[in-house]
Structure 1
Amino acid sequence: MGDDAALLGALPIAAAVIGDQDGCLKVLDYNDRFMETVELSTCRAIDWNDADCLKDGAIAEVLREFFGDFSSPGELDFRDGEGVSARYFKMKLAPLPQGKGSFPRCLLSLVDRTVEAQAERSLRAEMLRDSLTGLPNRLAFTEKVEQLDHDGKRDVEHAVLVVDMLRFSRINESMGSLAGDELLITFARRLMSALRGGDVLARTGGNEFGVLVTLRRGVVDALAAADRIQEVLAAPFKISDLEIRVECAIGLALMTAGQDAEELFRNAQFAVKQAKQVGKPQVYEARQASEARRRFSIETELRRALDKDQLKLFYQPLIDLKSGQVAGFEALARWEHEDRGEISPTEFIPVAEESGLILQLGRWAMHTAADTLADWDRKAGEPLPLYVGVNLSAIQVARDDIAAVVSSALKSSGLKGDRLTLELTESSIVQDPARATRVFDALKSLDATVAMDDFGTGYSSLAYLQRLPIDVLKIDRSFVTGMMVDPDSVAIVRAVLSLADALGMSTTAEGIETVELATTLATLGCASGQGFYFAKPLEAEAALEYWKSRKRH
């Protein structure tokens, strides 16, 4: 043992030699630091009864469980005690040479990591806290949700609410960041006052807060929590001698068994987006999220399809209702996806508008339509008595230089302006009449024809029709298809035709699907029409052949 004592005395850390004799762990020797460490320990790991045998102590349990027969080295982090009085050690075990007839021995060293562990704990607490409001942050909030699994509380219903403060950036911009910080702190206090005991509030983003609530009556309780939050936020906030009313959007997601905490939070954030659109708290629905993912997927693939020129223009004939001949064609975008098959324009056009891809799509359609008409002229050996109508989106009118796009298409194709008709929906004109007027005037300077599409579905006034240089009113199919059974539809169509005649405008009826409709509209004085009765949208070559077939008659 003399060698052991010399070894222990030379070590600057707490250490002891432990032996296993007939199943009893014995402290064969130790240095002063080891004894001091053990005596300071809250669990008094060494029991000195029966001489120096370790009995039922925490260290003895750890030695037997993790280090077995002391035949191989190892180390283990070990906590002694609970709460703020807990002490933390790194326990290391190194086998010692075993002499003939002796029992297994090892060198046990204890490194007190209490100060280091407390510093780590303080740092982690700081990492999980929002420095401005003192609330838990996004990481801490997620861990709170995950903790429900460990605590066995997933059988109790819970929900996550995300509260988004609207137009917060305006306050920062107009009043400065200090006023913004003051508002966030006051906002957080208000939110806290709306919660019940056990609810958890966290600041999960710049002007975004998360709330974890326990539910007794399912979604009813979750919506009640949202109502309480809105109620306490209804009163104005006093910031820098100003009273500010703050609105918020609230999204809710109900927790399901085995659900990932991040997924749950993202679901609530998705519901916030829905809440912003409808103006009231919204509960997450998987179907809506699935649709959103599909729209995002379509956006990505539409971008690729435009870059690879994978879309086509089809052309629906516009028939002169008096002569029965083709007066022109409306160009319509079609997308045949290599995996999904045909994707409807009613699906990809809104995605294009939302993403801004409508600008690229619109330019492509304008140039393609002009080039197609020019190609027909070349094949016929002369300019054909045809025009092509191209639809313009409200987003194009607001963001693009439409006149420049049309001018470029005319120049590259060699066509004159009167061969193109530009169609804008009534609703897009009403959104910004002043800009629509400037765009229309610029198009008229190029000799292009201007049509108001879907007339009757928006809220345009007679003043717009009188002031704007509109050449054609296109009567929406919803009125046309009901003419044979609904007297009101007939009255509306008749009124539109009379109005157009009084203002010197031409008219086109959409959705003509029967000979009776075609005959009735012609009798009422409608100039032209389109619909499945005449033809569905056709590819370029088929459209030219269709024109030829109608021309012979």
Structure 2
Amino acid sequence: MTESIPATVLVADDDPNVREMTRRALSEAGIETVEAADGIEALSQFNAINPDLILLDVSMPRMSGLEVCQKIRSSALGKDVPIVIITGRGDSSAIENGFSAGATQYREKPLNWQLLAKDVQYCLRSSAAFRNLRRQEDRLRYLAYYDPLTSLPNRRCFNERLSEMIGNASQTGDGFSLMFIDLDHFKRINDSVGHELGDKLLIEIGQRLQNELRKDDVVGIKHSNLPESIEDGTNVSRLGGDEFTVLLPSVKDEAAAARVASRILERLSAPVELDGANPVVTPSIGISIFPNDGLTADELIRSADVAMFSAKEEGRACFKFHRASTSTDEALDKLHLEEELRDSLAKDLLDMHYQPQIDAGSGRVVGLEALVRWPHPERGMVSPMEFIPVAEESGQIVELGQWVMRRVVSDMKRWDKSECAAAGIRVCINVSPLQFSQSDLPDWIDTFLREAGMPADRIELELTESAIMADTHVNIEKLTRLKDMGLGLAVDDFGTGYSCLQYLTRFPIDTLKIDRSFVNDLASAEGAAIVDAIVSMAHALKLNIVAEGVEDEQQRAVLVRKGAHQLQGFHFARPIEASDVPEIVSKRFETSTVRAI
């Protein structure tokens, strides 16, 4: 049985009596100390021993404690170490300056020697818990951005990098190329050599792509939202299965792209030695070039995908460029949809549906998510995936968001008045990034709820990660105001963006919603690991956890076992009309068979 290594505390104080008394107090608790008599010595000792905690006197010769604190915080080793500054009694300016310099806590002289050890032990436990959360965050972000099989960037990372490249290229006027690579007859090869060797083949293909693209000036792309520890600047991604993409920021025309594609074809078509088997795999490659083949990520991906299918139709093992159509039908239809949405909003022709949220323990309906629907007189039921982007691009999303809140509150008041089972239930309302960015959002909600006579604690606002991370300082203030009003706050689609733990702990949120993409991928090691990391972080931060997109009993059982508090998805109920809500809320879902009783 191994014994735990005792914690080490750096005690920096120019008074030898204080250092000695501190040493004695901490020694009795099994805590080792290293001493420093001035600021310069404190920095030297810190770099030498990397202590678990620092007790730092503000007033010291050669270098003040505040300067020492700033220098430690600016170093790689000192970002997370707890620093407790020691000040003279009532020295409020020193306390304020200490926190500005990066101090974790402060204590006033004279120190209470009887409580000092317990105080330090509490700080050490808090620091250990924070470091564990940090590790969970790093693990979550790595799994969210990288493919666990090949260690290449995954689809999510590729999409963000592509969007970033488009933004940069739009400003500079440069072009770049995108290659969409699909392995020919991979399923046949996978079935013949077995899935284990098939995985090894995919790893080999990924390595060959990376090695080939390192041979010349085809540079990688740095992605600003990823932590430095996992950012490698690679420009090869695996989207899933046997699909890979390559981003070529320095390749701006077809001639240059053709040279790179030819090399890739030759390299990937060479036989692979895999445990005695020698499978030969060939790629079909589709190429699109910005800005000629698209101005958005979706357009460029679609163009490259269409070109890839053209390569397969011409016999495979070749590359093709996208040839754009001059048709304007799609643009005209989009314009008509925008006009029809504006007319439907004005005439109150939209409708609200509600999807129940089930308590994982009791099986009771404890909340509803409000989902807007558009029953079009000619188009039929228009999918939100179709009209929400149109509303966002045209700016109608703000008006649509206000319409949704009015309709939801109207439905809630009708349930309350009828004294049915749905009376008093809480409803979650999605808030778009554009709506959340409006400076008057808290004022509008406050005024509306007061006039409607609806308690704010009956409403929970669902916000995306990207929305709250856009301007953290301003958004923390806005979220705090909304929270003070009594509104519940949830982060929707959590794990798909770039939440940073230091901000997540500062946002006054109540709920994390696990994105349906992770729930759908629960059967894979990657999906399960991401859900584990999210649940662990939420539990540590004492947040409610809602898993959305639950579609079968296996997913339900796994999520309950992992610690999700509430579940939502087609496995329980599809979104229903307001008139059907009282009936479903009155029922209880059995946690084993998930049937309403």
- The TM-score normalised by the length of structure 2 is 0.46
Q: Which has the higher contact order (CA 8 A, sep 6+)?
A: 2
Q: Which has more radius of gyration?
A: 1
Higher strand share: 1
